[in-house]
Amino acid sequence: MLKLSVCCCTYNRPHLLGELIESFQKQSYPKSHCELVVLDDAGQYGDLRGENWQVVSFPRRFASLGEKRNACVSLTSPDSEYVVMTDDDDIYLPWWLESHVKKFERGSKWNCEQWCYLSKENEIVSKMVYPAHPSHAYDRDMFVDAGGYPPISGWEDRDFHAKLRENRVPCDDSCGERSSLIYRRFSSEKHLTGVPVEAYRDSTKFAPILPRAELEIGWRRDYLGDVEHFETRSSNKEKKS
């Protein structure tokens, strides 16, 4: 059975991070073969641990998001075979890790998963099938040999993937019947996507650091029910058309 390390970079979003940890705890893939490592550079937590998950926290901002993601990978268990990328503001459904594993077992060195899009009104409005960093997983040795993400903030995943495609590294970006995660860019505040580089470098101006926080682990709503309702509605529309 493949051993996976889930990597999450977080900054100043404790109320969302608790939902990410709950997403990991709900995974159907055996906990004996997966772990979650969260890297926080806002210094909001002590070093926290749970069943196969840990939060590493210190008050020094990384120079770029690419470097932060690479550092998170370096904190994972050395015997891990694959690394799976997450964002702290997205929701990962129980079959998410199993879906990645199936693609690795078919021979891919990196792959991505289908995701749903959550609107500002907290309603799932569409399926997305193009690659995005919250849905990617990599063969660990390949990731390290390729040099990891470049030292930039924003589109670091796009540049890395362009390098992998140029070198013809086997990828599986096929989409199945079910979405594996819920992407909620516009429903979570303080999202750094699309902001100027200086906003990342001086994020305290863009998003002032909250007081030292306690994590509340759990989902705040029935996300499984939301996805099932959306996919049933979409299926009915397709049958009528």
Q: For the whole prediction, is pTM greater than 0.85?
A: yes
The answer to whether 180 touches 95, Cβ cutoff 8 Å, is yes
Q: What is the pLDDT of residue 240?
A: 64
In eight-state DSSP terms, residue 32 is G
Got the DSSP string for 75-128?
Answer: TS-TT--EEEEEETTSEE-TTHHHHHHHHHHTT-SEEE--EEEE-TTS-EEEEE
Q: Is the confidence at residue 198, as pLDDT, over 80?
A: no
Helix (H) or strand (E) holding 137: strand 136-139
Rounded Cα gap, residues 6 and 53, in angstroms: 9
Q: Is 60 exposed, middle or buried (0-12, 13-18, 19+ CB in 10 A)?
A: exposed
Q: What is the pLDDT of residue 209?
A: 65
Q: Is 165 exposed, middle or buried (0-12, 13-18, 19+ CB in 10 A)?
A: exposed
Taking only the tens place, the pLDDT of each residue in 114-149 is 877 676 667 776 776 555 656 799 999 999 999 999
Taking only the tens place, the pLDDT of each residue in 86-117 is 988 899 999 999 999 999 999 999 998 887 76
Could you give the C-alpha distances from 76 to 4, 14, 48, 87, 119, in angstroms and in order? Answer: 9, 21, 15, 16, 33
Domain carrying residue 214: 4-240
Q: Is the confidence at residue 192, as pLDDT, over 60?
A: no
How many domains does the structure of the chain reveal? Answer: 1
Check which CATH number belongs to the domain holding 32 and give it. Answer: 3.90.550.10
The model's confidence at residue 191, banded by pLDDT at 50, 70 and 90, is: very low
Rounded Cα gap, residues 207 and 35, in angstroms: 29
Q: What is the pLDDT of residue 64?
A: 87
Q: What is the pLDDT of residue 195?
A: 45
The answer to whether 120 touches 187, Cβ cutoff 8 Å, is yes
